Homo-oligomer: A and B are copies of this chain.
Amino acid sequence: MIMPKVVDHEEQRRRIADAAVAAIGESGLDRVRLVDVARAADATTGTLTHYFDGKDALLAAALDRVAERLLEGMERFQGCDLIEMASFALPLGEPERREWRVWLSFWGRAIWSPELAAVHNRYYERLRELLAEDVRRAQSRGEINAAVDPGDAADAVIAAVDGVGVRASLDPEGWPAPKQAELLETLLEPLLAPPTEITPRRKTR
């Protein structure tokens, strides 16, 4: 069987989009130029236009990649303790901080761009579903008060992670990993506590 010499179009797109993420993480969304992306992808700007209809499309693809990876990260921790799982979405280490920088940069653009906003909302929907599923599972195991609406709980987790993540991203020095985790716990523990006579879980860390 002869492998076609031509490159896999989709694979190339993904490769370039990843390069864009890297380039954005390097110099910021506002400052990134097409040549920066090209350089990061080991290609030329001309090549980029073969695969994307202009810069906006490329950036949208980059956002998509980030969202995809964030989601995959969450999926890996499915089944774990919910708060623990959520905390892994925080910018605890340098690689995560990097992804957060990119992710956060896109917020400011998404407000003005329906296309980017759509990517964000699609991601939030999937994440919410994923989390709600976990909540339901935990409730069936009696670990979370059954009175809590799984969707609401998921939204709460999302908001808590975003809120803590923003703060930590803007002041990385002031927010080392433990401090972030603690704040997340402070916010979510009462909500996701087991429906006992209210003995909140002991802190393990």
Smallest distance from the beta carbon of A64 to chain B beta carbons, Å? 15
Q: How many residues of A contact B (CB 8 A)?
A: 55
Interface-located stretch among A7-15, A41-49, A70-78, A165-173? A165-173
Q: How does the 8 Å CB contact mask read for A150-183 relative to B, with 1 for contact and 0 for none?
A: 0011011011111110110111001000100111
Smallest distance from the beta carbon of A157 to chain B beta carbons, Å? 9
| A156 and B186 contact, Cβ closer than 8 Å, known pairs A117-B171, A171-B121, A201-B200 | yes
Q: Is the CB of A110 within 8 A of B170?
A: yes
Q: Is the CB of A170 within 8 A of B105?
A: no
| A107 and B164 contact, Cβ closer than 8 Å, known pairs A198-B198, A205-B178 | no
Q: Is the CB of B186 within 8 A of A187?
A: no
Residues of A within 8 A of B (CB): 27-31, 101, 104-112, 117, 120-121, 124, 152-153, 155-156, 158-164, 166-167, 169-171, 174, 178, 181-183, 185-187, 189-191, 193, 198-205
